C-alpha cells in the first residue's frame, strides 16, 4: 500500500508541469533553463551557458518560472546573439563569409541546402551524402552497416531469419 501512495504523490507533482514554447519548440516546464535551451536545435551547452551569463539569468531556475518578458528577451538574444565567433554554429558562411548563429527550423533548411549544393557540384562529400556513407573519413568496414544483409555470424546456421 505504501507503493500506491508514492505513485499518487508522484502523479500530483507531475500535474503542475506545463509546456513552455521557445522558438517553436515545446519544452517541459520542470527542466532547468540551461538544459531546456539545449533542447532547441542549434543550441549547445556552451551557447546555452553563454546566454545565461550574458543576459544575467539564473541557469538553475526552472523554465516554467520565467515570465513572458524574460522568455522574449532570451528568444531575441538567440535570434541575434552577441557572442564570440567560436560559439556560433555557422562560421564563415559560404555565401556571405560572416559568422552566423542559426537555430530551429532555419538550421535544418540551411544544412539541407548545403548538402544539395555539394551534390550539385559533385564533390566527394556530396557523393558520400547521396549514397548514405560517412562523409568525414570514418572507417566503414565494421560500421555504417544498417542497410546491408545480415552477416553469417548473426544468423543461425547461415540461414537468414
Q: Are strands 19-22 and 25-28 parallel, antiparallel or unpaired?
A: antiparallel
Q: In percent, how much of the chain has pLDDT > 70?
A: 80
Task: Give the integer Cα–Cα distance in Å for 148 and 137.
Answer: 20
**Segment 124-128 mean pLDDT:** 93
Q: Phi, psi (5° rounding) for residue 22? A: -130, 120
pLDDT at 61 over 60: yes
Across 89-95, average pLDDT:
82
By mean pLDDT, which of 21-30, 67-76, 149-158 is the weakest?
Answer: 149-158
Q: What is the pTM of this model?
A: 0.69
What is residue 65's DSSP assignment?
G
Domains of the chain: 14-87 (1.10.8.50)
pLDDT for 147 beyond 80: no
Asked if 152 contacts 146 with a C-beta cutoff of 8 angstroms, the reply is no
For Cα atoms 54, 81, 38, give the angle at the middle one, nearest 5 degrees.
80
Average per-residue pLDDT in the chain? Answer: 83
Q: Which residue has the cell 553563454?
A: 50
> Per mean pLDDT, which range of 4-8, 107-111, 146-150 is the poorest?
4-8
Cα 16 from Cα 96, distance rounded (Å): 46
Contacts 24+ apart (CB under 8 A), 141-148: none
DSSP class of 151:
P
In sequence order, the β-bridge partners of residue 90 are 100
pLDDT at site 12: 47
pLDDT at 58: 92
Phi, psi of 40 (to 5 degrees): -80, 130
pLDDT greater than 80 at residue 117: yes
Amino acid at each position: 500500500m505504501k507503493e500506491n501512495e508514492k505513485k499518487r504523490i508522484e502523479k500530483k507533482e507531475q500535474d503542475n508541469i506545463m509546456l513552455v514554447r521557445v522558438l517553436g519548440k515545446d519544452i517541459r516546464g520542470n527542466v532547468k533553463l540551461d538544459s531546456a535551451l539545449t533542447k532547441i536545435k542549434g543550441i549547445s551547452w556552451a551557447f546555452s551557458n553563454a546566454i545565461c551569463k550574458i543576459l544575467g539569468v539564473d541557469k538553475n531556475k526552472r523554465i516554467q518560472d520565467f515570465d513572458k518578458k524574460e522568455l522574449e528577451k532570451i528568444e531575441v538574444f538567440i535570434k541575434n546573439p552577441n557572442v564570440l565567433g567560436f560559439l556560433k554554429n555557422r562560421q564563415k558562411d559560404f555565401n556571405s563569409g560572416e559568422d552566423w548563429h542559426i537555430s530551429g527550423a532555419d538550421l535544418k533548411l540551411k544544412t539541407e541546402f548545403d548538402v544539395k549544393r555539394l551534390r550539385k557540384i559533385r564533390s566527394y562529400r556530396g557523393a558520400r551524402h547521396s549514397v548514405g556513407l560517412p562523409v568525414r573519413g570514418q572507417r566503414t568496414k565494421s560500421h555504417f552497416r544498417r542497410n546491408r544483409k545480415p552477416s553469417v555470424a548473426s544468423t543461425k546456421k547461415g540461414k537468414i531469419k
